[in-house]
Amino acid sequence: MKSLLLHPSNWKDYSLIDSGDGKKLERFGNFLFSRPEPQAIWSPRLSIKEWEKTSGAFLSSSNPFNENGAGKWSLKKHLPLKWEMDYDNIKFFATPTPFRHLGFFPDQSPHWLWAAKKIKAAINYSDKRFSPKVLNLFGYSGLASLHAASHGASVTHIDASKKAINFAFENRDLSSFQHLPIKFITDDAIKFVKREIRRENKYDGIILDPPKYGRGPNGEIWDFFNDLPILLKLITQILSPEPIFIILNSYAIRSSHLALHFALNETMREFSGKVESGELSIVEDQEDPRQINTAIFARWEQ
């Protein structure tokens, strides 16, 4: 079994500038940020002076090599609360969040492009009379949903956080995608899928990016290792007879992509198709670049 190593490409508004000593230096639009990165166990290549040009730094309250360490942002006064960015014809806002990231994950873009190819191929195969139905669970700020809808899918976007849903609405409006068929719903993922089973609703594609731990809108507890197997067993009941794709992505869990590979392979054993898996990474924008793993994934295609 061959593993894949995917990294973002064709970004104008994002790049990994440098890394080392437990940190990474990134550009988001016109602003530089320093964030903790436990995997950067090497030395930075750029000078301290270059690292001091940041508009913001996330300061860990513990050892920077501790991936679970808490902390807070130190932001320069000139930095706006949020600013506009774009990728592949979708527009969205970047903003520092309490969770270290800036409201989106550029390393996810290979999945967006892959899903878009599957969506367009399905539309062309059906003589362009077909709009694939895509369910994006744990959809967060909506970039995967916006990208899929902009390539012809009808998308249902689910997130347990009302704040995240509002963020997704902002990104939709910024992209002027109000006309696209996207439903934004605040709900617990498992409860929503169970209701869809009862309603006999079916989907042609499913995107899953579950957190390690989380809470639903009514206090429901999400635990990756306990609840993902339950969710995977449920989603087969909402798949159309000839589904197109499933993407399963995971951050911040102590596991190999092999775990996701075989879990998804078992889930889809009654469907023809194949599963591939691997890692997402970001790559330094310099000669002889180093790479930092960001997530593991498995994905199924017809």
CATH number at 168 reads 3.40.50.150
CA 253 – CA 5 distance, rounded (Å): 17
220 and 73 housed in the same domain: no
What pLDDT score was predicted for residue 37? 96
CA 129 – CA 239 distance, rounded (Å): 19
157 and 296 housed in the same domain: yes
Q: CA Rg, the chain, in Å?
A: 19
What pLDDT score was predicted for residue 160? 95
Is residue 17 within 8 A of residue 45, CB to CB? The reply is no
Query: Residue 288, class by beta-carbon neighbours within 10 Å (0-12 exposed, 13-18 middle, 19+ buried)?
Result: exposed
CA 44 – CA 51 distance, rounded (Å): 9
Whether residue 101 is contained in a domain is answered as: no
What pLDDT score was predicted for residue 67? 55
Whether residue 89 is contained in a domain is answered as: yes
Domain holding 182, by residue range, is: 106-301
35 and 183 housed in the same domain: no
Whether residue 1 is contained in a domain is answered as: no
What pLDDT score was predicted for residue 276? 98
259 and 279 housed in the same domain: yes
Whether residue 204 is contained in a domain is answered as: yes
291-301 vs 14-20, strand pairing mode: unpaired
Whether residue 152 is contained in a domain is answered as: yes
Q: Which of 39, 63, 94 is the last residue of a domain?
A: 94
Contacts of 66 (CB under 8 A, 6+ apart): 38, 60
89 and 119 housed in the same domain: no
195 and 227 housed in the same domain: yes
Whether residue 3 is contained in a domain is answered as: no
Q: Which of 70, 94, 118 is the last residue of a domain?
A: 94
61 and 32 housed in the same domain: yes
The token duo for 3 is 């593993």
136 and 273 housed in the same domain: yes
What pLDDT score was predicted for residue 1? 79
Q: Which of 64, 94, 124 is the last residue of a domain?
A: 94
60 and 111 housed in the same domain: no
Contacts of 167 (CB under 8 A, 6+ apart): 93, 103, 140, 141, 142
Whether residue 99 is contained in a domain is answered as: no
297 and 167 housed in the same domain: yes
207 and 248 housed in the same domain: yes
- Amino acid at position 112, single letter: W
Output the tens digit of pLDDT for each of the chain's 302 residues: 789 999 999 999 999 999 999 999 999 999 999 999 999 999 999 999 999 999 999 998 766 555 555 789 999 999 999 999 999 999 999 999 999 999 999 999 999 999 999 999 999 988 777 899 999 999 999 999 999 999 999 999 999 999 999 999 999 999 999 999 999 999 999 999 999 999 999 999 999 999 999 988 888 899 999 999 999 999 999 999 999 999 999 997 788 999 999 999 999 999 999 999 999 999 999 999 999 999 999 999 99
Whether residue 249 is contained in a domain is answered as: yes
Domain count for the chain: 2
247 and 280 housed in the same domain: yes
